[in-house]
Amino acid sequence: MMPRVRKQRLYIVLFIVLGASFAAGLVFFAISENMNLFYPPSDIVAGKAPVGKQIRVGGMVVEGSIKREPSSLKVKFDITDYGDAITVVYEGILPDLFSEGEGVVASGKLDANGVFQAEEVLAKHDENYMPPEVADTLQDRGHVPTGAVGSANEETP
């Protein structure tokens, strides 16, 4: 049996851990929305994001939507969360991993027409890692080797 004084200390320790967890839980419940790094396009279409304020949007670049201006670094593309889509305009150098069907996070301001004027575009890669040959095989078999594939392993020869 545990002596009384140790039992008491055990309760104090449990109280500290549970109390801190409870407090942290309340705090994160209160600020949960603000913990998001970016707005998804459907929140922006739904009018949840402020217009003219510095915000971030994130989503997948829509296939075939990238339009570059030949004479400058201006680029225009749509991003989607497979619900709604918004148009992003950006002038500058894009990260290497930026391409159609890939995730991006852009920071900038939403203008009155609902077009996002980006000042910075970051690539958001997914959690899948595989050799190029495996990715090719997956693509040949009609799988898109991005976030849509749950596991990279199941289709390997």
Partner 1 sequence: MWSFLKSFYHKLGSPKWFYDISGKWLPWLAGLTAVLLATGAVWGLLYAPVDFKQGNSYRIIFLHVPVSFIALVGYYIMAIAGAITLIWRMKLAEVVMRACAPIGAAMTFLALISGAIWGKPTWGTWWVWDARITSMLVLFFLYLGVIALGEAFTNKDAGTKASAVLALVGTVNIPIIYKSVDWWYSLHQPATIKFTEESSMHPDMLYPLMIMIGAFYLLYAVLLILHARGEILYREHRTQWVKDLVKSSSGKL
54 binds partner 1 (CB under 8 A): no
Q: Which two tokens stand for residue 65?
A: 């939507």
Question: Hey, is 13 helix, strand or coil?
Answer: helix
105 binds partner 1 (CB under 8 A): yes
Q: Among residues 38 and 116, whose Cβ is nearest to partner 1?
A: 38
118 binds partner 1 (CB under 8 A): no
Binding residue for partner 1, selected from 36, 63, 67, 114, defined by CB under 8 A: 36
Strand bridging mode 116-124 / 85-91: parallel
Binding residue for partner 1, selected from 42, 109, 123, 143, defined by CB under 8 A: 123
Identity at 41, one-letter amino acid code: P
135 binds partner 1 (CB under 8 A): yes
Residue 139 to residue 61: CA distance in whole angstroms: 18
Closest separation in Å from C-beta 67 to partner 1: 20
Residue 59 to residue 122: CA distance in whole angstroms: 11
Q: How far is CA 1 from CA 7, 11, 60, in A?
A: 9, 15, 59
Residues 156/137, Cβ–Cβ less than 8 Å: yes
Closest separation in Å from C-beta 63 to partner 1: 16
Interface residues with partner 1 (CB under 8 A) are 6, 9-10, 12-13, 16-17, 20-21, 24, 28, 32, 35-40, 58, 94-98, 102, 105, 120-135, 145, 149-154, 156
